[in-house]
Amino acid sequence: MVKPEEKKEKGAKKAPVRIIGVVGRRKSAVARVWLRRGEGGVAINKARCADYFTSDETRTNAVQSLVVCDAITKYDIVANVHGGGKCAQSDAVRLGIARALVADNEDFRVILREHGFLTVDARNKERKKPGQKGARRKFQFVKR
């Protein structure tokens, strides 16, 4: 026969895991980032961060927000990224992680703002103008 205390322990539900979802953008890259407490795993588009971002620069840039806050081993990150190139995608992931950290712990805002990780880089490609070869480049002048 099962004791009443043991029965309560088996039937007791665990506290729900808090998952924070935010969006980070850079140029035409959009990153949807989900953050939860964990051991420090980073998955981007269902691949490890080291496998998805092949260069050291993009890899370190993507997780820089976690490193600055000294929280790389405290959270698990899952991100879906599309659009843009790898550099823009890593910047979008960095912004998304920074926003998620602030949503979880408001104390991180000062550190992340100081390093400029909460600032959105709004620079985009300039549009091509009519009557020109590109955005600023003109057609070559021909005298005759």
- Taking each helix axis as running N to C, give the angle between helix 86-104 and helix 108-115, from 0 to 180 degrees, rounded to the nearest 10: 150
In tens, the pLDDT along 13-56 reads 777 888 999 999 999 999 999 999 999 899 999 999 999 999 99
Q: Which amino acid is at 65?
A: S
The Cα angle at residue 56 between residues 88 and 26, in degrees rounded to 5: 10
* Domains (range + CATH), the chain: 16-115 (3.30.230.10)
**CA distance linking residue 34 with residue 99, whole number of Å:** 10
In tens, the pLDDT along 111-131 reads 999 999 999 988 988 999 999
**CA distance linking residue 25 with residue 77, whole number of Å:** 17
pTM of the model: 0.82
